[in-house]
Amino acid sequence: MMLPTGRCVLAQARLIGGRAVSISRAYTRSRLLSTLAVLEQKDGQLSHGSLSAFTAAKKLGGTVHGFIAGNNISAAAQEAAKVEGVEKILVVDSAAYDKGLPENYAPLLVENIKKGGYTHVIAGHTAFGKSVLPRVAALLDSQQVSDITAIENESTFVRPIYAGNAIATVESTDAVKVITIRGTAFAAEAPGSGTGAVEEGADPKVDSTSEWVSEDLAKSDRPDLATASRVVSGGRGLKSKEEFDRVMLPLADALGAAVGASRAAVDSGYADNSLQVGQTGKVVAPQLYLAVGISGAIQHLAGMKDSKVIAAINKDADAPIFQVADVGLVGDLFEKVPELTEKVKSS
Amino acid sequence: MSALRILVPVKRVIDYAVKPRINKAMTGVETVGVKHSMNPFDELSVEESVRIRKENRAPGGVEDIVTISAGPAKAQDVIRTALAMGIDRGIHVELKEGEELEPLTVAKLLKATVEAEKSNFVLLGKQSIDDDAGQTGQMLAGLLGWPQATQASKVEFGEGDSVTVTKEIDGGVETVKAKLPMIVTTDLRLNTPRFAKLPDIMKAKKKKLDKKTLADFGLTSDKRLKILKVTEPP
C-alpha cells in the first residue's frame, strides 16, 4: 500500500511546484524503497532457505514483495505469503521457468522488476542466484553486489573478499540494487501468520536458448549441509572413500550432523563435490563444526570460520586449523573418531 | 558446423596461497611486493580450451584461441602463461597500477572483444579469488543474449553446434544443452591444468600480443560500487 501512496504524493507535488517537489521527494524516496525477494522452489516445493531473502529485505525497510516462478507453484506461493511483513507474492506459474534456466528466467525477472519499480532485488547466493542474478544485473545495467553478509543501509553493504580474509564495505550507486546474500548471515524466517497477497506476475514469454537435460543429486537422509546446525567434515587425512564412509558417517549420524569435506577429500574422490566446504564450495556457519583430518587451508577456512564452535581432530599439532579451533585434539583420527562416536552414542 | 573461435579471459590476482593483508589506509589489500599469479579458475579455462583443440572435441574444429586480460603492465605475465599453456595469441588491455575494473565493465569489454574477434565460445573462470564476485561470465552472456552454463565440470560438443555442459549445483550436478555461440564458466573439477614447460614458455614469447586501452573500447574504469572501507575479519 505504501507504494501507490508515495507515487501519489510525488504526482501531486509536481503539480504544486518547486519547493513542494523537493520536500516530497525526500519523503517519497524513503517511502519508495521497495524490494523484490527472489524465492526458489523445487518440484513445486518452496525452498525454505530462500526465505532468507525476506529477512534481508526487511532489514532494508520499505515494501517487501516476493517472486516465485515454476511449474505448479501456487501452494508454494501461498506458503511464502504467510511470512510476516511480506506484502505481496508475484507468481509466474509456467513449466518454462521450472528449472530456473537463466536465459528465460533473467528476462522474466527484469520484466517484473521494471514493472514493479523495485529499488532492490535480493536472491540467495546459491547455485540458482549465482547463475541468474548477474545476468539480471547486466540487463538492468547494474553492478551486482555478491554474497553480502550485512546491510548497513539501503545502499551500503558488507561482503567478504579474498576468501573471507578481508571484509569490504561497499556503497552502491546504481538505481536498482541487485544483491545476492549469504544464507548463513540472514536466518530464514518461517512462514507465520502473514497475510500477503498472491498476484500473477508478468510473463514476457522469452524462449530459453538452453534446455535442461538432467540432474544427478547426491541423495542423503542427513541434514542439508548449508543449513545444518552441526557439520562434521573430513579431509585428506581420511585416506580413502572407504575410510571416509567408515569413520565419518557413524560420527555424523551419532551427532545428527551433515557431512562436509575439504577440497582435497573431494578431489581424491572420498566425498561428493556438493559436500565441499570452502571459498568455492559451500559456506556454512553451524553451531558445531568438527574438522577431521583437515589442515585448514585459507580456502577451506573461508567456508566455515563463522561457525559458532569449531572443533578439530588432527595428528599435526601445527595444522592451521588449530588456530581457528575452539577445541582441538591432537591425535590419530582413525583411533579418536570411533572413540568419540562411541561416547556420543552412549551419552 | 561452425569452427570454434574461443575467447579465454584471464585475470592476474594475488596468489591463492598468500594470506592477504589489509593496507594501512583500510581501502584494500596490500598488493605491492606480493606474489601474483593467474586466477586458478582461469587456468582451468585455459587448459580446457587447449584440450578441446588437442582432443578434437569440437566437430567443427578449433580455428582460434585468444586470451585477454585487463590489468597493469604485469598482467602480461599471466597472458604469457596462458600462451605458454597453448593459447594462440593474447590481448592486453592495459590499466594503470592500482586501477581495477568491476565485473560489469569487464563484461562490456569482453562483449566488444567477442564482436571484434568473432568469438563464438567464451570460457571464463567461475569467480576470481580476490573479489569473489562470480559475475562476469553471466553478465557477458546477458549482454550478448547468449546461452550460459556456469560452474562446468564437463563440456561436450555435438552435431549441429550443440554444447552439452554438466554443471555443479547445490546438492549435485545438472546437465544443460545449448547451441553455439555460448558462454561457459569453469569449476574446479573440469580438469587439471598443465604446467607450462620451458620450451613452451620460450615459444610463448614469440606469440602475438596486442595492446589496447580501455578507451579503445569506449570504456572507463568508473565504479558503481564505492569501497568505503576494507577491514580484517572479526
| Interface-testing mutation among B111, B169, B186, B192, with chain A (most A C-beta atoms within 10 A) | B169
- Interchain CB distance below 8 Å, A161 and B131: yes
- Residues 193-212 of chain A whose Cβ lies under 8 A from any Cβ of chain B: 208-212
The one-letter code for the residue type at B66 is V
Judging by beta carbons within 10 Å of its beta carbon (0-12, 13-18, 19+), is residue A162 exposed, middle or buried? Answer: buried
CA dist., res. A44 & res. A187, Å (int): 22
Looking at residue A16, its pLDDT comes to 41
From A339's Cα to the closest Cα of chain B, the distance in A is 30
Residue bearing cell 593474447: B90
Q: Is the pLDDT of residue A8 over 60?
A: no
The pLDDT assigned to A207 comes to 94
Contact B107, B139 (CB under 8 A): yes
Residue A64 has pLDDT above 70, yes or no: yes
Q: Fill in the amino acid letter for B102.
A: E
Instruction: Indicate if the pLDDT at residue A20 is higher than 50.
Output: no
Say if the Cβ atoms of B224 and A142 lie within 8 Å: yes
Q: What is the pLDDT of residue B85?
A: 98
Instruction: Inform me whether the pLDDT recorded for A13 exceeds 70.
Output: no
Question: A198 has which bridge partners?
Answer: A89
Please enumerate in sequence order all residues whose Cβ is within 8 A of that of A262, keeping only pairs 6 or more positions apart, or say none: A233, A234, A235, A236, A276, A277, A278, A294, A295, A297, A300
* pLDDT tens per residue across span B101-135: 999 999 999 999 999 999 999 999 999 999 999 99
Q: Residue A31's pLDDT is what?
A: 53
The single-letter code of the amino acid at A267 is D
Is 80 exceeded by the pLDDT of residue A7?
Answer: no
Q: Is residue A9 over pLDDT 80?
A: no
Residue B209 is which amino acid?
A: L
Classify residue B3 by its DSSP letter.
Answer: P
B145 in Cβ contact with B111 (< 8 Å): no
DSSP A319: -
Q: What is the pLDDT of residues A111-134, one digit of tens each?
A: 999 999 999 999 999 999 999 999
Q: How many C-alpha atoms does B209 have within 13 Å on its Cβ side? A: 21
Which of A168, A174, A263 has its CB closest to that of B227?
A168
Instruction: Locate all alpha helices (DSSP H) within A84-235, ordered by sequence.
Output: 102-116, 127-139
Mean pLDDT (whole number) for A214-242: 93
User: According to the model, what pLDDT value does residue A26 have?
Assistant: 43
In chain A, which residues have their Cβ closer than 8 Å to the Cβ of B134? 130, 134, 146-147
The partner residue sitting opposite A135, judged by closest CB among B127, B138, B188, is B138
Distance from CA of B42 to the nearest CA of A (A): 14
Percent above pLDDT 70 for chain B = 100
Distance from CA of B65 to the nearest CA of A (A): 24
Stretch A88-96: mean pLDDT: 97
Q: Do A163 and A299 contact (CB within 8 A), yes or no?
A: yes
pLDDT grade for A220, boundaries at 50, 70 and 90: confident
**CA angle A302–A304–A310, rounded 5-degree value:** 135
CB atoms within 10 A of CB A251: 23
> What is the rounded CA–CA span in Å between residue A292 and residue B10?
35
Least confident residue range of A24-33, A240-249, A334-343, B49-58:
A24-33
Residue A296 has phi, psi (to 5 degrees) of 100, 50
Provide the pLDDT for residue A219: 81
CA angle, residues A146, A111, A90, in degrees to nearest 5 = 85
* pLDDT at residue B177 is higher than 70: yes
Confidence of residue A218 (pLDDT cuts 50, 70, 90): confident
Show residues of chain B in contact with A214, CB under 8 Å.
174-175
A323 marked among binding-site residues: no
Give the rounded percent of residues in chain A with a pLDDT score beyond 70.
91
Kindly determine whether residue B171 and residue A166, on different chains, have CB atoms separated by under 8 Å. Answer: no
Return the closest-CA partner of residue A181 out of A129, A128, A254: A129
Helix (H) or strand (E) holding B213: none
Query: CB under 8 Å to A140, separation ≥6 — which residues?
Result: A110, A113, A174, A176, A178
A297 is in an annotated binding site: yes
Assess whether pLDDT exceeds 50 at residue A265: yes
For residue A14, name the pLDDT band (cuts at 50, 70, 90): very low
pTM of the model: 0.90
Distance CA B184, CA B150 (A): 6
Residues B145-181, buried b or exposed e (16+ Cβ, 10 A)?
Answer: ebbbbbbbbbbebeeebebbbbbbbbbbbbbbbbbbb
- Give the pLDDT mean for B226-230: 97
Q: Calculate the average pLDDT of chain A.
A: 91
pLDDT (average), residues B70-98: 96
Grid coordinates given for B3: 569452427
Q: What is the dihedral of CA A114, A116, A117, A122, to 10 degrees?
A: -90
Cell numbers for A187, please give them: 536466518
